[in-house]
Chains A and B, each alone.
Chain A
Amino acid sequence: MQELKKEYKDLLPEKIIQEIEDSLPEKVSKTQLKEIFKRVLEEYENSQVDPGESVGLIAAESIGEPGTQMTLNTFHFAGVAEMNVTTGLPRIIEIVDGREKIKTPMMEIFLQKPYSEGEKIKELAMKIKSTLLEDLAKEFSINIGELTIELQLDREVIKQVGIREETIQKTISQGVKSITIKKTEDGFIIRPRAKGNESLNELYKLKEKLRALFITGIKNIQQVLPVKRKGEWIIVTSGTNLKDVMKLKEIDPTRTISNDIKEIRKVLGVEAARQSIINEVYKVIEDQGLNINVRHIMMVSDTMCMTGEVKGITRYGIVGEKASVLARASFETPIKHLLNAAIQGEEDHLISVIENVMLNQPVPTGTGLPTLKMKR
């Protein structure tokens, strides 16, 4: 067995060899075993895709057909209300287009030991959530007579977040320029420093600026939600910031993931992004109860990550990379492409498929791929 395994190591994938080993009957002679391996290899080679097969086209059909049955524009709730997730066709489109800004960025943060058992999880969640000054204030008002902004702090929230009032005062005076800040019994009075010529309008602008002032936590994390999943507590967030979250000591950085593919590309590289495209698309497909072979999704994902960054299947992404003018023009906005090509004097060598279809010539796929060469 061991010798055969070694012999077929490069010929058959690991998983198939494992499968053979698992499904063998108890008594097999050496010649029988040899025969099994030989036949499996034969089957395996027969089932491989032929060179020149239009795999992209097949993938498009295979994903497109079940895609028509997908629910359009569903927002469904994951766990608790207030947190909605883009699923179904909109999500697939978002991933495949390689969008820079996705509709519902989310993170799943796995935790280290004491926290993953639910201990002190609330404190940790508050630490991760980004806190703006608005969240800490009970009341935010403009005193028209004095031209000041009065801020009443919400002591309960402050206690939950675990921040000292002096620190808040310091962040305010550092974050906003030319103001004087005075502490009162239940909050602060903020006065613009430039005397005499401040209008109410400017004061109002200052108030809005103060509202959105970032105090503590991790930027961009708008909501946190501790969830129990498979016997351990994790924190699901809306809003992502993979880079900063991974720096926290309390979490398990190796399993923490975001659903923003562009962000994963930046933090973990193309290969991680490729894997997460597959995972995300497959999650949607499974959610909808459809059945699409992963290989199609793997192919799409590989194509998107070809250049070392994530490119969508759009005229700005991978289609824009095509060398042939006619191929680009046939996808979207033909006049723009043809005009630009004419101005720049581009050449088209007609080596790919679509331009040859247009010109009624044999295409280099399938049996059209091999060509004859004269022997000199």
Chain B
Amino acid sequence: MKVDPKIINHVLMPKHEKLSDRQKQEILKTYNITEGQLPKIKIKDAGLMGLDVKRGDVIRITRKTRTAGTSYFYRVVTDV
């Protein structure tokens, strides 16, 4: 998908990054969970624009929150 700067730079849009396989395993280990227990994100989601992801990839989202400043959130990519 082509990257649309209007959407990527939108105020509501946090930063999405794809994690490498090693980082992914680390995340699953620290939270002691399986891939299926992570919250999901659809492969066609506008946030994944230009990230070249496939099913099962873990996405790290850097949120700006009012309570903590910045915080990380993880989502796993699912089909459709």
Contacts and interface: CB of A to CB of B under 8 A. Distances in A.
Interface residues of A, number: 29
Contacts, number: 84
Interface in B50-66: 61, 63, 65-66
B6 A254 contact: yes
A307 to B, nearest CB: 5
A308 B12 contact: no
A266 B46 CA distance: 8
Contact of A269 (B39, B40, B46, B78): B46
B70 A14 contact: yes
A302 B39 contact: yes
B12 A298 contact: no
Contact of B42 (A253, A264, A270, A276): A270
Q: How large is the interface on B (under 10, 10 to 19, 20 to 34, 35 or more residues)?
A: 20 to 34
Interface string A288-300: 0000001100100
B67 A294 contact: yes
A13 B68 contact: yes
A267 interface: yes
Interface string A9-51: 0000111101000000000000000000000000000000000
Given A270-B45, A271-B61, A308-B40, A15 B67 contact: yes
Given A14-B70, A308-B42, A308-B45, A267 B7 contact: yes
B68 A308 contact: no
Contacts of A306: 39-40
A305 B16 CA distance: 16
A183 interface: no
Interface in B1-22: 6-7, 9-14, 16
Nearest to B16: A271
A124 interface: no
B45 A269 contact: yes
A253 B75 contact: no
B39 A305 contact: yes
Given A246-B6, A254-B9, A270 B65 contact: no
A51 B73 CA distance: 18
Interface string A242-282: 00001000000111010000001011111110011000000
Given A275-B63, A306-B40, 6 more contacts: A15-B69, A18-B69, A254-B9, A271-B41, A271-B63, A308-B45
Interface of B: 6-7, 9-14, 16, 39-42, 45-48, 61, 63, 65-71, 73, 75, 78
7 contacts: A13-B68, A246-B7, A255-B10, A264-B12, A268-B10, A269-B13, A309-B42
Instruction: List 5 A-B pairs, minimum CB-CB distance, nearest first.
Output: A14-B69, A13-B68, A269-B47, A272-B12, A269-B46
